A and B are shown apart, each in its own frame.
Chain A
């Protein structure tokens, strides 16, 4: 067993113990009691939270993936940088500011929260889509073209399967970040589990804070695992093998 593996196991063990101790403490001190005592309220907030994430994330996927495909086509090669820069700029603005801006335009409520998170999710997906599509070997494309595949067939049969892993990684990053950022939706009246978190902060009531924060964390981890699974699924077997072999040669 290598040193790296040993350290990884020690770190995992350490954090598992912390998590177990934390839950033991939280449950024995009734820190998560609100979840069971106010179950309907909790479920409503959870539903709001998930709605914000999935609608904003879904819209971002629907816009960013086609946009990424479009800008990597030969005719748009020249404006590629412009679009990436614009999306980059969007990412440099703090999430709170994006929320505030969205509220300024759309008023308070869940809509503003969705729009803000949508804007915030665009970049990771767009960047990964472009990177994935551009990673396809030029000679592979040349061979496909030379054999008489149309550009659409090349996109569908070669480029997208190559980029799928990377695109899914972008979606995963965006959605996992969204789970956390959606907690800020409370600030502009968007609801979600942030309501309990901020209530807890304002009232110095740890039970509310923890009853809101723990589900958000669990949701983020669950989302990460779920999307990791999807990422593995969309990655063609042949490419997985290719990466493995490349890795071994290095």
Chain B
């Protein structure tokens, strides 16, 4: 759990980097900090592991005020992933991953086991990469190692500063998926800085939108997209915010709320699985020029979906979130 209470930061007595931030990130929750550059998102993240010092306010990690714990000790309990160049090029992959456990004095056997577990978790062969060096790996692999290293000592909290920002789009998407998988298994409390709204919508349990050191809105992705609090948020999330929100729901969510159209002649209509995202359904409806798609679950036909059904559902969600 991470709690910010009235956190402010002033640089050189004049530049106000953060103004009275109040934020509560629950245990096992992933909060995405997002906003235009210079909004203070990275500064906020770096306050947690005390790479920056705050001017006023409090940060509480699991009931402990960070000012009262030793700086070095706090950092070793927090996983830290940065954009690039974070790996130590002079050390082998194993040494890199095991750096914090090594500092904490884990014995060799325990380290070896942990290394194995972590490498399997990130989908890389432990024995193949153990003795390799960072520069022998691709950018995506390096970043996977960065994630494994942050998880090494099983810290309750992870700080990720645009971890996938330097990767090309295809690799970035893949690593996002992989990290979501990992997060489902390890359930860390994560603060994640991003500048990409799609990434935020996809990854976040909560999105924290910032501007000029102030928090504009901190809500679930659905709420941010369907009910932006002010003009700035609305503009930042983009004109296609309703379209983006379709990524948050599947047909399964839809059938709980609204009725599908009755079954008509389905011979010429493609079928779609109940677990498909509404975004996918919607683009199929537009792209292929069908009026309707047949919704199926394990070969059982449930009904038909068309654009008006989706529209009805989104209206309903919008009202529900008010």
> Total interface residues on A, using CB and 8 Å?
24
- Chain A residue at minimum C-beta to C-beta distance from B48: A146
The answer to whether A139 and B90 touch across the interface, beta carbons within 8 angstroms, is no
Interface with A: B114-122, B132-140, B213-221, which one? B132-140
Tell me, yes or no, whether A150 is within 8 Å of chain B by CB: yes
Q: Does A142 contact B (CB under 8 A)?
A: yes
Which A residues touch B99, using CB under 8 A? 147, 149, 157
Give A contacts to B, CB under 8 Å: 137, 139-140, 142-150, 153, 157-158, 161-162, 236-239, 241-242, 245
Known: A139-B85, A146-B159. A239 touches B90 (CB 8 A): yes
The complex places the Cα of A241 from the Cα of B93 at a distance, in Å, of 14
Instruction: Report whether B133 and A139 are in contact in the complex, using a CB–CB cutoff of 8 Å.
Output: no
Are A142's CB and B72's CB within 8 A? no
Please choose the segment from B76-84, B249-257, B313-321 that sits at the chain A interface, where 4 or more of its residues have CB less than 8 A away: B76-84
Residues B100 and A148 in contact, CB atoms below 8 Å apart? yes
Give chain B's interface residues, CB within 8 Å of chain A.
Answer: 46, 49, 51, 72-76, 78, 80, 82-92, 99-100, 103, 133-136, 149-150, 159
Q: Are A146 and B49 in contact (CB under 8 A)?
A: yes
**Contact A150 to B49, CB < 8 A, known contacts A158-B88, A238-B133, A241-B135:** no
Q: Is the CB of B51 within 8 A of A142?
A: yes
CA distance A41 to B128 in the complex (A): 60
Q: Are A139 and B135 touching (Cβ within 8 A)?
A: no
Q: Given A139-B82, A139-B85, A241-B136, do A147 and B91 touch, yes or no (CB 8 Å)?
A: no
Flag if B85 contacts A137 (CB, 8 Å).
yes
B interface SS class: mixed
Q: A161 and B85: CB pair below 8 A? A: no
Contact for B75 among A139, A140, A148, A238, CB less than 8 A: A148
Instruction: Tell me the minimal C-beta distance from A212 to chain B in angstroms.
Output: 44
A149 to B51, CA, bound (A): 12
Further 4 A-B residue pairs, CB within 8 A, beyond A139-B82, A148-B72, A148-B75: A140-B85, A143-B80, A143-B82, A147-B100
- Whether B80 contacts A238 by the Cβ 8 Å rule is no
Q: How far is the CB of A220 from chain B (nearest CB, A)?
A: 31
Closest to A159 in B: B90
Q: Most A CB atoms within 10 A — which of B83, B99, B150, B159?
A: B99
A216 CA to B178 CA, complexed, in Å: 63
Q: Is the CB of B73 within 8 A of A238?
A: no
